[in-house]
Amino acid sequence: MPVIGEMGLALLEGARKYGRHNWRKVGVRASVYHDAVVARHMAAWWEGEDTDLDSGLSHLTKAMAGLHVLRDAQIRGLMLDDRPPGTSGFVQKMNDKAAEIISRYPDPLEPITHEDASSVPYL
- pLDDT over threshold 80, residue 118: no
Packing angle of the helix pair 2-18, 59-75 (nearest 10 deg): 70
* Residue 111 forms part of a structural domain: no
* Residue 48 forms part of a structural domain: yes
Is residue 80 within 8 A of residue 27, CB to CB? The reply is yes
Is residue 37 within 8 A of residue 45, CB to CB? The reply is no
* Residue 119 forms part of a structural domain: no
* Mean pLDDT across 69-90: 96
pLDDT at 116: 76
Domain that holds residue 40: 2-104
* Residue 52 forms part of a structural domain: yes
* Residue 115 forms part of a structural domain: no
Query: Quick one: three-class SS letters along 48-88?
Result: CCCECCCCCCEHHHHHHHHHHHHHHHHHCCCEECCCCCCCC
Per-residue confidence at 92, pLDDT binned at 50, 70, 90?
very high
- pLDDT over threshold 90, residue 115: no
- First and final C-alpha spacing in the chain: 39
The whole-model pTM stands at 0.83
Q: 57-85 burial string, b = 16+ CB within 10 Å, else e? A: bbbbbbbbbbebbbeebeeeeebeeeeee
* Residue 112 forms part of a structural domain: no
Q: How many domains does the chain have?
A: 1
* Tens of pLDDT, residues 11-61: 999 999 999 999 999 999 999 999 999 999 999 999 999 999 999 999 999
